[in-house]
Structure 1
Amino acid sequence: MSSSSKPYDAEGQPWSTGLCDCFTDVKSCCITIWCPCITFGRISEIVDKGTSSCIANGAIFALIHHLTLCACLYSCLYRTKLKQEFGLRENRCHDCLAHTFCLYCALCQEYRELKSRGFDMERGWEGNARQQKELAMAPKVEGDMRR
């Protein structure tokens, strides 16, 4: 699933949901409000295609958030990666503002975007890759085909 697999115009594709559509997915909204590091960790693992772990990135996010309150800078980097990967509309100023003043809404929007593109966020990168592999395998037919 890469941006090269889907054509898009120079401005990019629109997001599947708006920044303030947080309550269209109540479960992820609640998780994000109470523990944004979980949402961020899940997003980052998918965006990094499994090269980083949900737990490690979530822990880094939590540490930065609790010590400096500047986790928005870290999470904004992943928003940029997500937008580049899927050819979403670019506006770096808007991204920084969204993560600075509406961090939870921005995380929820990114989470919804990945879900709308077919990712099961609770499975992580490996779980999604394994599911895609299973779906791609054709069933084996034993013997000759008969009526």
Structure 2
Amino acid sequence: MGEFQHGLFGCFDNCGICIITYFVPCLTAGKNAEAVGESCILYGCLSILGPIGIWSRAKIRGQIRDSKGIEGSFINDCVMHWFCAICSLVQEAQEVEGGSAQAESMARE
């Protein structure tokens, strides 16, 4: 089993994702969900609903961990999103992005 490419507090490894997530965390949550085959809009909206948001973000984090072979548990994912939601979202976004240094366009085709 592996680990995330970037640490939990490696938010500034990609300042673009960090800034977007700080101001519009539901966008990053939706993009993370979309990266694992879930609905971008549904999980983006769920992410802002208190305890439901913690559950939905932890569920997506678990799917990202499973797809990348990263060890962890659902309880740990919930704790991460309870105490460090922005850092967790950025870490997940960096993981699904694959470490590429190029910025993505926010426009949809």
TM-score by length of 1: 0.63
Name the structure 2 match of 1:37.
Answer: 26
Q: 1:29 and 1:47, CA in 2 relative to 1: closer, same or farther beyond 3 A?
A: same
Instruction: Give, as a single letter, the amino acid of the residue that structure 2 aligns with 1:76.
Output: A
Q: Residue 59 of structure 2 contacts residue 74 of structure 2 at CA under 8 Å; is this kept in 1?
A: no
Q: How far does residue 72 in structure 1 lie from its aligned partner after superposition?
A: 1.4
> Unpaired segments of 5 or more residues in structure 1?
1-11, 128-147
Percent identity of paired positions between Structure 1 and Structure 2: 29
2:82 to 88, 94, 100: 100
- Number of matched residues? 106
Which secondary structure state, in structure 2, belongs to the residue aligned with residue 14 of structure 1? Answer: coil
Q: How far does residue 122 in structure 1 lie from its aligned partner after superposition?
A: 4.4
Distance 1:33 1:81 in 2: 22
Which secondary structure state, in structure 2, belongs to the residue aligned with residue 59 of structure 1? Answer: helix
Q: How does 1:23-34 map to 2 (within 5 A)?
A: 23-34=12-23
Root-mean-square deviation (CA, aligned residues, Å) is 2.4
> Unpaired segments of 5 or more residues in structure 2?
none
Distance 1:23 1:121 in 2: 14
Structure 1 runs of 4+ aligned residues shifted over 4 Å read 120-124
Distance 1:77 1:34 in 2: 22
Instruction: Give, as a single letter, the amino acid of the residue that structure 2 aligns with 1:35.
Output: V
Instruction: Give, as a single letter, the amino acid of the residue that structure 1 aligns with 2:61.
Output: R
**Which structure has the greater CA radius of gyration?**
1
TM-score by length of 2: 0.83
Q: How far does residue 55 in structure 1 lie from its aligned partner after superposition?
A: 2.6
